[in-house]
Amino acid sequence: MRLGWPWVRRGAIGTVLLMLLLVGHYTLPQVDVVRVVGTENRRIEFGWNSFFWASPDAGTATTGAARDVFFIQGVDAEGAAVVFRNEDTGWGWPPYFKFSSHDMQAIASSLVSGPEAPQWVAVTHYGWRSELLTIFPNALRLSPVEGPEARVIPWGSLAILGALAVGLLALWRVLILLRRAYIDPLWGRVARFIGREG
C-alpha cells in the first residue's frame, strides 16, 4: 500500500483531533459521587509534572518549587479510593475562576463521614488521576446528594460543548462562504489564465 499526501493529511487531522479530545477531556468538568473520608494540607515539591498543578492561590507569594496544597480524600460506592486536590484556578487555565479553595476545604472537612452513617457528596472536578505521574483532579464544587446512585447532570460540560458546537458550525459556515466568494473565483481565473497560456 502506497502512502501519499492524503494519508499525511488524514494523519495530521487525526492528531489534531486527538489532541483536542485530550485537552477537552482534561479541562471539562466531570462529576464523581463519593463519601469524603478525610482532608489534609500537604507540602508539595513540584517536579517535571508541575504542568498538571494549578498556580498558587491568588495573593500567595511562593519562592522555589514547593507550596502547600489542600487534598480531599474520598471513597466511591465500590470502595475505591478517590483523591482530589483543592487548588484555586484563579485567572489561569482552565478558566473556572475558582478562588475559594480555603472555604471548600472547610466544607469538605464538615462533610467527612464514616461507613456507618455515610454522607454522599457530588464532587465536580476537572483533570485526571494518575499514580504514575502523581497528578490529581482538581475539585471545583462540593454538593451533598441523597446517595451513591444519585445522577448528577454535568450542565457545565453540556453548556461548554454546546457553545463549542455552535461556534464550530458558525466557523464552518463562514469558511464555506469565504471559499465561494473569494477562493473559487480566484481558482477560476487561474484556470482560465493557464488555459490561455497552454
Q: What is the pLDDT of residues 43-72, one digit of tens each?
A: 888 777 776 777 666 666 555 677 889 999
What percent of the chain has a predicted confidence (pLDDT) above 90?
A: 47
User: Which is higher by pLDDT, 14 or 7?
Assistant: 14
Q: How many CB atoms lie within 10 A of CB 77?
A: 13
CA distance 163 to 109: 35
Quick check: helix, strand or coil at residue 140?
Answer: strand
Spatial neighbors of 98 by CB under 8 A, at least 6 apart, are 87, 88, 89, 90, 140
The pLDDT of residue 71: 96
Residue 71, H or E segment: strand 66-75
Tell me the average pLDDT of the chain: 86
Q: Residue 38: count other Cβ atoms within 10 Å of its Cβ.
A: 13
Helices and strands per DSSP (H, E), number in the chain: 4, 5
What pLDDT score does 183 carry? Answer: 85
pLDDT band at 114 (very low <50, low <70, confident <90, very high): very high
By residue count, the chain amounts to 198
pLDDT for 73 = 97
Cα separation, 129 vs 49, in Å, equals 12
Q: Which residue has the higher pLDDT, 187 or 37?
A: 37
